[in-house]
Structure 1
Amino acid sequence: MPTSPSALFLSVIATSAVVLHAYWRFQARRAPPGPLGHPIVGIAASIPKSHHHLYFTELNRKYGDLVYFQVFALKVLVVGSYKHINTLFSRRGLIYSDRPPLAMTDIHLGIKDQPPATNWGDQWKEERRLFVAHMSKDVVRKSHQADVFQEARKGVLRCSENSVNNSWDFYQTSLRTFMHSIYGIEIQSHHDPILQAVLAGTGVASASVVPGRFLVNILPFLTYVPDWFPGTKWKALGRLWKEQIAQMKALPFNQMLNNEKEGRAYDSFSSRMLNDPQTTLTSAQVMHTAGSCFIAGTEATSGAVMYFLWAMMMYPDVQKKAQEEVDRVVGYDRLPTYEDYVSGKMPYIEAIFKELLRWRPGAPWGIPHATLVDDEYEGYFIPKGTIVFQNTWAISRDPELYENGENFDPERFMVPNPPLDPRAFAFNVGRRSCPGQNYAELVVVSNILTLLATMDIVKPTDKAGNIVEPSSETTGKLTNLPIPFEYALKSRTTDAFALLQASITTS
């Protein structure tokens, strides 16, 4: 009797389930502690749709610093302490520095060639070498300082003209900043096609790696299921996202190439990488590398600035003390620069930056790693291919490191023996740590200093004059951005507007 395609497919699923169940039972015997879940599916039904860092932290508190579980065939290890993550990602980096295969990201979105997703190997090493060389502390200070502060001042000036602002304004400020530094392009208006392409594409990559969202990441053979089969709407979504990501990377990069041909190129990260005499990367690979920098950096830096705005409204004493330090170092007849910050004369501003990294880390459950080979650690067997999450949220609230971790308190870093500098883990740990962290610090600090020097950040009022409390809700995604909230800016001095306007040069 002929077998229908649907019956054959269901037979394959059933057979796979039996094999997976047997394998799952075998692996669970030697694994670190964690929820066993159900046969076949593991803990798939327990994985939330968002705010995975909170769920992972609950697991770490219940089972310990090392938590192991399975979601169908996926083997997952969540590491919730700095001690262990530093050992695994740094000291054992050769084992724990791969990336897991995720079909939605690798195949359907086509971003396997971007450095954050590239597997361990020669291409990744060359991409990272270029990143490190062109985003070092010295290069950032010499090549990007003026432009980044210029964009920060433009952003603050734009916002100061409104009685009430939306925190999302600083997302666009970050977009403009990165566009200028990465591609040498200045966005002229909100309707710019490059800006619109970027707005459509950012966030797509992080959405594709959310645990449990796409079954194809767990059962990659679903890639080959025909589009007419029930439950395959994700394939159409993948095609849309793939086109959005392609446009987001190609439009600014091609504009940069055209500017070079026409002799009006501006020194940028992309142009320096492309013209690096030692590079072995193709033009397409440079485009992917630049695109990954743009995607990751824009969300993380804008999120930090938005959280800063929220913290200054909720902790006015912190804002006042920070303004006093800026005034003491800079005075009132000029605006602060990055040299003021790196000179060591602004320890409280640096403490605020550290506390932002700790209190609201940009990627609270890290970027997933994968083991290249089987490993034995702390008496536990970690199989090859295990997906390893750095639970940054749990580390940032470790009571052995940070007392009252839910509070925003820069003073914790102003004592003679301060706790661990969050830079050690907030940008991820080990060989896969963010190579653009020097640039990210410049972008965030430029906005912090400009705001503190010129404005008071206060809670807005409604039409009846009642104070509006800012929302503390967050997106709960891979990059955990705050839900847009309102804030108000009030000029600190009569000269604030004049200083901002005078500092902005036309280019």
Structure 2
Amino acid sequence: MASSLVILDTVFVVLGLYILRRYLTNRFQPPLPPGPRGLPIVGNVLDMPSSYEWLTTAEWTKRWGDIIHVDVLGQHFVFLHSADDVTALLDKRSTKYSGRPRFTMGGELVGWDASLGLSQYNDRFKESRRYYSRVIGTKSALRPFHELIETEIYKLLKRLMYTPENLHEHVQKTASAIILKIAYGYSVLEGKDPYVDMVDKAMESFNATTTPGAFLVDILPILRYVPSWVPGAKFKGLAAAWRADVMEMVETPFAMVKQQMHEGTAVSSYTKNLLETGTLTAEKEDIIKWSAASIYGAGTETTVATINSFFLAMTMFPDIQQKAQEEMDRVVGKDRLPTFADRENLPYVEAVVNEVLRHNPVAPLGVPHSTSQDDIYKGYFIPKDTIVVSNIWALLHDPEIYPDPSAFNPDRYLGPNPDRNPREFAFGFGRR
């Protein structure tokens, strides 16, 4: 009996100390940024939209301002809606804001945490960035690939001429062909290609498993230890199948390059050029392998979405299409196709591309960052491990930066006082 009382007293003491600590912490630390009031335990689960989140949080700014906080089952989110705030936090305080959210399902169980997109800001990430800068990180480094890109674009035009109804599939194949050639020196086949199918299959798992809250195990990571035979643990089987797809995507083309190098048939590529830099440790070889796979994940879907947006815009705004075509005919003529060498002489076409990036951004909420330590900004407390989201759509539709933001108007980038280049916002912020 006495022993039970001692245990009970200990529990009450520990509970009391915990409550006191929470009280003192809340009493003396600055407030969290404003946002919709949540419910006990679940927080703002019911406030979070399931689609077009960028429009919802942009609407919230009318009530709570440009910095908005929500709590989803204990996970802090901060949404940023102004260029000044995004620059101040993700650029100027990048040492604190360069982490990535941890996805138990997509990262740990499926394996995407080894990719550059979900890697934390650590030595592995920095080594991957060094590899990128050496091979494809500058305009001059990419110049040797101009001929490849032009050739694949000509193939795209030919496919569109015969089967224009398959626009999306043609654009997807073109983007895949360019990036697989750059990453591995691989030339895709006409029709169905096994490497394109393999990579696209693996990328489906990335999209399915890296949406915050998509799987309960992301909210309660301890569930990853639940055996797969337990009712409700279907996610374990999905994770195993998706992990196999991911590892096939990462290992197969890398092994192909190494085999071709052994046979003396390998052509220049990101992977081959890095493997030739000297004796590599197993760790560095693994970084090369995953960084090559990340090129596809980072480049293909965004490229496809941007080109599709371009076709949509030209369909919706035929007067702008005609104006761009007139410039093309005037500069390039009608007896050849344009090349990269013509780009600097096509300012209106360049402005059209910029307006496509602004008007319909392919990643309206960017890629979320995560704080590596507590921070205080504008009198608000931003806890460690907060997921920080920049509303890129809101920045690109800010009437203070882009007057009449709903209008598709390439002329805004021309003349003596052009609007800001949307490339400053469209591709994200900070060290990553």
| TM-score (normalizing by structure 2) | 0.89
Partner of 1:386: 386
Partner of 1:356: 356
* 1:219 matches 2:220: yes
1:249 and 1:407, CA in 2 relative to 1: closer, same or farther beyond 3 A?
farther
Secondary structure, aligned partner of 1:381 = strand
For residues 70-85 of structure 1, the aligned pairs below 5 Å read 70-85=71-86
Q: C-alpha deviations, 1:135-156, integer Å up to 9, x for none?
A: 2334344221000111111011
Q: Tell me how far apart the structure 2 counterparts of residues 133 and 58 of structure 1 sit (CA, whole Å).
A: 42
Conserved? CA contact 1:44–1:212, under 8 Å: no
Report the AA paired with residue 177 of structure 1.
Answer: I
Q: C-alpha deviations, 1:96-120, integer Å up to 9, x for none?
A: 1111222112211112121111111
* 1:310 matches 2:298: no
The alpha carbon displacement at 1:240 in A equals 1.8
Q: Tell me how far apart the structure 2 counterparts of residues 94 and 353 of structure 1 sit (CA, whole Å).
A: 32
Partner of 1:49: 50
Q: Tell me how far apart the structure 1 counterparts of residues 218 and 325 of structure 2 sit (CA, whole Å).
A: 48
Conserved? CA contact 1:168–1:306, under 8 Å: no
Conserved? CA contact 1:47–1:211, under 8 Å: no
Secondary structure, aligned partner of 2:182 = helix
Report the AA paired with residue 217 of structure 1.
Answer: D
Partner of 2:105: 104
Conserved? CA contact 1:203–1:295, under 8 Å: no
Partner of 1:459: none
Q: Tell me how far apart the structure 1 counterparts of residues 181 and 32 of structure 2 sit (CA, whole Å).
A: 48
Conserved? CA contact 2:371–2:383, under 8 Å: yes
* 1:270 matches 2:271: yes
Report the AA paired with residue 198 of structure 2.
Answer: A
Q: Tell me how far apart the structure 1 counterparts of residues 224 and 394 of structure 2 sit (CA, whole Å).
A: 35
Conserved? CA contact 1:96–1:370, under 8 Å: yes
Q: Tell me how far apart the structure 1 counterparts of residues 389 and 410 of structure 2 sit (CA, whole Å).
A: 27
Report the AA paired with residue 304 of structure 1.
Answer: T
Q: Tell me how far apart the structure 1 counterparts of residues 240 and 393 of structure 2 sit (CA, whole Å).
A: 33
Q: Tell me how far apart the structure 2 counterparts of residues 386 and 85 of structure 1 sit (CA, whole Å).
A: 15
For residues 436-475 of structure 1, the aligned pairs below 5 Å read none
Q: Tell me how far apart the structure 1 counterparts of residues 182 and 320 of structure 2 sit (CA, whole Å).
A: 31
Partner of 1:301: 303
Partner of 2:162: 161
Q: Tell me how far apart the structure 2 counterparts of residues 150 and 99 of structure 1 sit (CA, whole Å).
A: 37
For residues 358-377 of structure 1, the aligned pairs below 5 Å read 358-377=358-377
The alpha carbon displacement at 1:29 in A equals 7.0
For residues 92-491 of structure 1, the aligned pairs below 5 Å read 92-162=93-163, 164-277=165-278, 282-341=284-343, 344-432=344-432
How many equivalent residue pairs? 411
Conserved? CA contact 1:273–1:279, under 8 Å: no
The alpha carbon displacement at 1:408 in A equals 1.9
Q: C-alpha deviations, 1:360-408, integer Å up to 9, x for none?
A: 2121111111111111101111111111011111111111111222222
Report the AA paired with residue 102 of structure 2.
Answer: P
| TM-score (normalizing by structure 1) | 0.77
> 4+ residue runs of structure 1 moved beyond 3 angstroms?
25-29, 136-141, 163-166, 276-281
The alpha carbon displacement at 1:167 in A equals 2.8
Report the AA paired with residue 296 of structure 2.
Answer: F
The alpha carbon displacement at 1:333 in A equals 2.2
Q: Tell me how far apart the structure 2 counterparts of residues 50 and 277 of structure 1 sit (CA, whole Å).
A: 48
Conserved? CA contact 1:361–1:426, under 8 Å: yes
Conserved? CA contact 2:173–2:196, under 8 Å: no
Secondary structure, aligned partner of 1:58 = helix
Conserved? CA contact 2:98–2:369, under 8 Å: yes
1:224 and 1:163, CA in 2 relative to 1: closer, same or farther beyond 3 A?
closer
Q: Which moved more, 1:101-110 or 1:83-92?
A: 101-110
Secondary structure, aligned partner of 1:70 = strand
Question: Cα RMSD between the aligned structures?
Answer: 2.3
- Higher share of residues assigned helix: 2
Partner of 1:464: none
Report the AA paired with residue 348 of structure 1.
Answer: Y
Secondary structure, aligned partner of 2:49 = coil
Conserved? CA contact 1:171–1:303, under 8 Å: no
Pair member with larger Rg:
2
Q: Tell me how far apart the structure 2 counterparts of residues 141 and 224 of structure 1 sit (CA, whole Å).
A: 45
Q: C-alpha deviations, 1:21-58, integer Å up to 9, x for none?
A: x79x9499710011121111111233233333223323
The alpha carbon displacement at 1:320 in A equals 0.8
Conserved? CA contact 1:99–1:369, under 8 Å: yes
1:233 and 1:62, CA in 2 relative to 1: closer, same or farther beyond 3 A?
farther
Conserved? CA contact 2:358–2:422, under 8 Å: yes
Q: Tell me how far apart the structure 1 counterparts of residues 178 and 272 of structure 2 sit (CA, whole Å).
A: 16
Q: Tell me how far apart the structure 1 counterparts of residues 104 and 67 of structure 2 sit (CA, whole Å).
A: 26
Conserved? CA contact 1:33–1:66, under 8 Å: yes
Q: Which runs of 5+ in 1 are unaligned?
A: 1-14, 433-507
The alpha carbon displacement at 1:277 in A equals 4.8
The alpha carbon displacement at 1:278 in A equals 9.8
Percent of aligned pairs sharing the same letter? 36
Conserved? CA contact 2:365–2:391, under 8 Å: yes
Q: Tell me how far apart the structure 1 counterparts of residues 222 and 30 of structure 2 sit (CA, whole Å).
A: 27
Q: Which moved more, 1:295-304 or 1:26-35?
A: 26-35
Secondary structure, aligned partner of 2:218 = helix
Conserved? CA contact 1:36–1:70, under 8 Å: no
1:137 and 1:163, CA in 2 relative to 1: closer, same or farther beyond 3 A?
closer
Conserved? CA contact 1:103–1:217, under 8 Å: yes
Q: C-alpha deviations, 1:238-283, integer Å up to 9, x for none?
A: 2222111212222222222222222111111222233335987522
1:60 and 1:108, CA in 2 relative to 1: closer, same or farther beyond 3 A?
farther
The alpha carbon displacement at 1:83 in A equals 1.2
Conserved? CA contact 2:36–2:47, under 8 Å: no
Q: Tell me how far apart the structure 2 counterparts of residues 162 and 109 of structure 1 sit (CA, whole Å).
A: 37
Report the AA paired with residue 368 of structure 2.
Answer: P
